[in-house]
């Protein structure tokens, strides 16, 4: 019992976790219940209660030091009548005294550890740690001792530190690779009455290379057909190794036997098997049995365990080759032969040979695979294998012939061997030289003598060893006063003018024969004709036109024909003027709407004529496109007696020249053509020449194809005929001039 009057400061009450019943008392209290005790602070009213009459302090529930070890409280003594404090307020601390009520716990458990197999005794595995929530400064409640409950005699644990160590030597992973230990921690220094806790520790033994490879059998037997190709697998062997991972990785090699070089061995990294494969072709007739001594060893060796024994093992592999019926085999895989393209049919080129590799040595017959000799240039003797020429050879067509020869076993025709023959054709000089291209040669009318108008070269299909060399000349009997030829001594020649000036009216085309001789043995020559056209050129020497017809009047055209043409034009002009006058009287417009039909020619007959055939006398498309080749259309009601070829297209030239050529061509055709319209018909052509901005005078292009016909179409021909009259007048003047 503490009195407030005697202790004017902090008081400390030490209480156990299981029992609490202290009492406070004031010296003023005389026992007649005039004083009331009041408690304040941590836990007052919830954990701690005070009897206001006696001052006894009671705990309402069990105290736990691990939750709170100290409580700070305040107490007062109050006069019941005045309700005033009779003593100064006093503060005191209640300290909870610890008892052993918590067992040790392994907060990090359960544990997993690993150590190499064959570890020596005392090898540290790991350290375990247990914690006790009791007060380590009071008694032995928190003092822990470790012990091993399960795992003996293989492992032990240090009591104070909790370090686990191996207890037996040479623990073999291959015998047992995992151990489960149970470790106990007990407080009170392990004395009777102490609390304890346990945890588990899983210890795994890791592998070390302590086991050598071992073959399960000391000898193996395998049978292999001789027809297996190189690279085929003939055997798979494996040495057993109790280790795992990289400690079980193997290496195999052939260390002895008569099969070295014929067979090879590799490792399958996935299965660690040794794969025996064929390294050279097998032949039963040559050797039918092989013996191999194969060694297996660990790839990674641990020197600590070399005392166990050699980390390798050997086995014997016997391989027996089985006989199979094989196809014939040629003495060479590829035969190369050479023959001249001048060789005659039936000439021998060379011989191929094949034999049956089997012990029966059957006879062989030969043939040519026609899929490689489609043209059947060659034949082969079925018995001897002699290859001969069946057709004339031409190096320029095919310089090398690659053929396949078949060798067929007589006793078993299904067995067929293949041989390959490359026949190279030697060149002879059997092709004459010729122009390298088709030359288009022009000469200007004003060309001076000595002017080079063309350089020519030659080609030859032959291939001489020293290359081509050509010689150019004019034939001796074809001397020309117009042109000469100069051999440039470099496989080219120059054509040179020999006279001063040319006239198209006299001769528009010259044909110059040129002799080309090659340098072969014997040499060959050819005569090639060079076509030279005389052209009208501008000041820069550029050809404008090379057509001579525009300067020559046709023999059938007379002055009367021209007068007749002009008279017809004037007649039509008068007719049009009459129609225009009638239109004006009716006050109708001279210009049609776009939907009205417009005719491009007027055809008048004094007899019934040929009807619609006369309207086909010409094609307006041809008039608009003079550069297009003109096709003559024949009358279907008249059988023509003379066939005419279409004329070539006119080259670009000034409009006056083109127009004059056009008129003369039409006049010539009309004079001699039996398919022309009746002679009393008149054909008019509205032509403005090339390059006209207005293009054709025809108004057909402005009329839609689906418009209704209107035959009042001559009202707009007045201005056109005036232009036609002007043009024809110009033509007449030009012609007579």
Residue 228 to residues 231, 234, 235, 414, Cα–Cα distance (Å)? 9, 9, 13, 18
Question: When comparing pLDDT for 77 and 423, which is higher?
Answer: 423
Higher local confidence (pLDDT), 468 or 371 = 371
- HSE at residue 233, side-chain half, CA atoms within 13 A, is 9
Most confident option among 65-69, 463-467, 534-538 = 534-538
Q: How far is CA 589 from CA 68, 586, 660, in A?
A: 127, 9, 35
> Residue 658 — very low, low, confident or very high, per pLDDT cuts 50/70/90?
low
Identify the architecture of domain 219-322 in CATH.
Answer: Sandwich (2.60)
Q: How many CA atoms lie within 13 A of 96 on its CB side?
A: 22
Asked if pLDDT for residue 608 goes beyond 80, the answer is: no
Which of 500 and 632 is assigned the larger pLDDT? Answer: 500
Q: Which residues contact 52 (CB under 8 A, 6 or more apart)?
A: 36, 37, 38
Give the integer Cα–Cα distance in Å for 131 and 638. Answer: 133
Asked whether the beta carbons of 146 and 196 are under 8 A apart, the reply is: no
- Greatest mean pLDDT among 26-40, 324-338, 543-557, 628-642 lies in 324-338
Cis omega (within 30 of 0) for bond into 153: yes
Whole-number pLDDT of residue 476: 84
pLDDT of amino acid 726: 54
What six digits make up the tokens of 320?
A: 């027996």
pLDDT at position 481: 82
User: What are the structure tokens assigned to 445, written together?
Assistant: 């009318």
Comparing C-alpha atoms, which of 572, 582, 539 is closest to residue 681? 572
Fold exhibited by the domain 329-426 = Immunoglobulin-like (2.60.40)
| Confidence label for 127 from pLDDT (cuts 50, 70 and 90) | very high
The CATH code for residues 111-206 is 2.60.40.60
Higher pLDDT, 434 or 640: 434
Residue 647 has pLDDT above 60, yes or no: no
Residue 554 has pLDDT above 50, yes or no: no
Q: Work out the percent of the chain whose per-residue pLDDT is above 70.
A: 74
Q: Does domain 434-546 have CATH number 2.60.40.60?
A: yes
| C-beta of residue 542 within 8 angstroms of C-beta of residue 444 | no
H-state helical runs in 586-649? 620-624
Bond before 522 cis per omega within 30 degrees: yes
Four-residue CA torsion sign, 488, 491, 496, 498: positive
Q: Which of 94-98, 310-314, 555-559, 593-597 has the lowest mean pLDDT?
A: 593-597
User: What integer pLDDT is reported at residue 27 of this predicted model?
Assistant: 73
Reply yes or no on whether the pLDDT at 35 is more than 80: yes
pLDDT at 656 (0 to 100): 59
**CA 531 to CA 441: how far, in whole Å?**
6
The more confidently predicted of residues 154 and 189 is 154
Would you say domain 2-97 falls under CATH 2.60.40.60? yes
- Most confident among 63-77, 127-141, 419-433, 536-550 (mean pLDDT): 419-433
Angle 730-734-736 (CA atoms, 0-180°, nearest 5)? 120
How large is the average pLDDT for residues 568-597? Answer: 69
Q: What is the pLDDT of residue 657?
A: 64
Beta strands in 9-127, from DSSP E residues, in sequence order: 11-16, 24-25, 35-41, 48-50, 57-59, 70-79, 90-97, 111-116, 124-127
The answer to whether 201 touches 113, Cβ cutoff 8 Å, is yes
Pick from 267-271, 284-288, 716-720 the range whose average pLDDT is largest: 267-271
The domain locations on the chain are 2-97, 111-206, 219-322, 329-426, 434-546, 559-736
Mean pLDDT computed over 455-459: 93
The model's confidence at residue 234, banded by pLDDT at 50, 70 and 90, is very high
Kindly tell me if the per-residue pLDDT of 184 is higher than 90.
yes
Q: Does the pTM of the predicted model rise above 0.75?
A: no
CB 298 within 8 A of CB 212: yes
What's the whole-number average pLDDT of the chain?
Answer: 78
Residue 534 β-bridge partners? 443
Tell me which residue of 234, 171, 153, 164 sits closest to 202, measured CA to CA: 164
pLDDT band at 221 (very low <50, low <70, confident <90, very high): very high
- Is residue 21 a contact partner of residue 1, using CB atoms and an 8 Å limit? no
What is the Cα–Cα distance from 314 to 292, expressed in whole angstroms?
10
CA distances from 664 to 615, 658, 684 (A): 21, 10, 14
What pLDDT shows up at residue 251? Answer: 93
The alpha carbon dihedral of 540, 542, 548, 552 has a sign of negative
Q: Give the C-alpha separation, 210 to 175, whole Å.
A: 13
With a cut of 80, say whether residue 19 has pLDDT above it: no
pLDDT band at 556 (very low <50, low <70, confident <90, very high): very low
Does residue 624 sit in helix, strand or coil?
A: helix
Same fold, 219-322 and 329-426: yes
Mean pLDDT of 32-55: 81
Q: Does the pLDDT value for residue 564 go beyond 50?
A: yes
Beta-carbon contacts of 210 under 8 Å, excluding residues fewer than 6 positions away, are 117, 118, 172, 243, 302, 305, 308
Q: Which residue has the higher pLDDT, 427 or 320?
A: 320
With the CA atoms of 565, 568, 570 and 576 taken in that order, what torsion angle do they form, in degrees rounded to the nearest 10? -140
Q: What values do phi and psi take at 198, rounded to 5?
A: -130, 160
Note the pLDDT of residue 271.
Answer: 92
Count the Cβ atoms, other than its own, within 10 Å of residue 449: 13
For 119, which DSSP code? Answer: P
The neighbour count for residue 403, using CB atoms within 10 Å, is 21
User: For residue 398, which of 422, 419, 382 has the smallest C-alpha distance?
Assistant: 422
Q: Is the per-residue pLDDT at 617 higher than 50?
A: no
What is the DSSP secondary structure assignment for residue 702, as one 8-state letter?
G
In angstroms, the CA 344 to CA 390 distance is 9
Whether residue 44 has pLDDT greater than 50: yes
At residue 342, the pLDDT reads 87
Q: Is the pLDDT of residue 123 over 90?
A: yes
- Rounded to 10 deg, the angle between the 717-736 and 655-672 helix axes is 90
What pLDDT shows up at residue 60? 77
Nearest to 90 by CA among 81, 99, 77: 77
Which range among 55-64, 222-231, 566-575, 684-693 has the greatest average pLDDT? 222-231
């Amino acid at each position: 019992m503490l009195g407030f009057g005697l202790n004017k400061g902090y008081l400390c009450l030490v209480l156990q976790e299981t029992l609490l019943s202290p009492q406070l008392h004031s010296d003023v209290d005389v026992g007649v219940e005039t004083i009331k005790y009041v408690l304040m602070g941590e836990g007052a009213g919830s954990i701690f209660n005070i009897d206001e009459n006696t001052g006894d302090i009671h705990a309402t529930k069990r105290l736990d030091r691990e939750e709170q070890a100290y409580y700070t409280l305040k107490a007062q003594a109050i006069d019941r009548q005045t309700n005033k404090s009779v003593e100064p307020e006093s503060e005191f601390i209640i300290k909870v005294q610890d008892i052993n009520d918590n067992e040790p716990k392994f907060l990090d458990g359960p544990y997993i550890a690993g150590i190499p197999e064959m570890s020596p005794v005392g090898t540290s595995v790991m350290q375990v740690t247990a914690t006790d929530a009791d007060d380590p400064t009071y008694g032995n409640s928190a003092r822990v001792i470790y012990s091993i409950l399960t795992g003996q005699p293989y492992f032990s644990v240090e009591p104070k530190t909790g370090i686990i160590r191996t207890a037996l030597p040479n623990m073999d992973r291959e015998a047992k690779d995992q151990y489960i230990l149970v470790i106990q921690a007990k407080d009170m220094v392990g004395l009777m009455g102490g609390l304890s806790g346990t945890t588990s520790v899983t210890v795994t033994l890791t592998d070390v290379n302590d086991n050598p490879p071992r073959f399960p059998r000391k000898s193996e037997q395998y049978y292999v057909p001789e027809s297996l190709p190189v690279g085929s697998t003939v055997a798979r062997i494996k040495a057993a190794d109790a280790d795992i991972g990289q400690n079980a990785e193997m290496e195999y090699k052939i260390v002895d036997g008569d099969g070295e070089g014929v067979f090879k061995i590799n490792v399958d990294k996935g299965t660690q098997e040794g794969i025996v494969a064929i390294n050279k072709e097998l032949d039963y007739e040559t050797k039918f049995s092989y013996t191999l001594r194969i060694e297996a060893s660990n790839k990674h060796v641990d020197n600590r365990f070399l005392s166990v024994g050699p980390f390798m093992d050997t086995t014997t592999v016997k391989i027996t080759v089985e006989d199979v019926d094989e196809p014939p085999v040629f003495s060479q895989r590829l035969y190369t032969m050479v023959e001249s393209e001048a060789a005659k049919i039936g000439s021998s080129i060379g011989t191929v040979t094949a034999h049956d590799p089997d012990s029966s040595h059957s006879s062989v017959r030969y043939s040519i695979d026609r899929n490689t000799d489609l043209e059947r240039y060659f034949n082969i003797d079925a018995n001897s294998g002699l290859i001969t020429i069946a057709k004339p050879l031409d190096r320029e067509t095919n310089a090398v012939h690659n053929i396949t020869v078949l060798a067929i076993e007589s006793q078993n025709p299904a067995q067929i061997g293949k041989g390959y023959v490359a026949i190279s054709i030697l060149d002879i000089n059997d092709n004459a030289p010729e122009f390298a291209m088709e030359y288009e040669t022009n000469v200007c009318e004003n060309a001076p003598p000595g002017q080079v108008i063309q350089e020519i070269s030659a080609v030859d299909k032959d291939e001489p060893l020293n290359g081509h060399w050509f010689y150019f000349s004019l034939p001796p009997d074809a001397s020309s006063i117009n042109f000469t030829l100069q051999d440039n001594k470099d496989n080219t020649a120059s054509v040179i003018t020999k006279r001063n000036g040319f006239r198209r009216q006299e001769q528009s085309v010259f044909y110059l024969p040129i002799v080309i001789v090659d340098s072969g043995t014997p040499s060959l020559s050819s005569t090639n004709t060079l076509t030279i056209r005389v052209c009208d050129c501008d000041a820069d020497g550029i050809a404008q036109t090379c057509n001579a017809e525009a300067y020559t009047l046709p023999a059938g055209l007379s002055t009367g024909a021209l007068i007749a043409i002009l008279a017809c034009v004037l007649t039509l002009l008068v007719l049009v003027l009459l129609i225009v006058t009638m239109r004006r009287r009716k006050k109708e417009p001279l210009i049609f709407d776009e939907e009205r039909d417009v005719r491009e020619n007027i055809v008048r007959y004094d007899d019934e004529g040929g009807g619609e055939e006369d309207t086909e006398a010409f094609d307006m498309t041809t008039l608009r496109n003079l550069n297009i080749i003109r096709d003559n259309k024949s009358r279907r009601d008249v059988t023509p007696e003379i066939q005419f070829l279409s004329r070539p297209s006119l080259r670009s030239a000034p409009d006056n020249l083109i127009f004059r050529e056009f008129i003369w061509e039409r006049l010539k055709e009309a004079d001699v053509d039996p398919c022309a319209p009746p002679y009393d018909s008149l054909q008019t052509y509205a032509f403005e020449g090339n390059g006209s901005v207005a293009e054709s005078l025809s108004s057909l292009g402005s009329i839609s194809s689906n418009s209704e016909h209107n035959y009042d179409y001559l009202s707009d021909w007045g201005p056109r005929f005036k232009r036609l009259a002007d043009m024809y007048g110009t033509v007449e003047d030009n012609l007579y001039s």
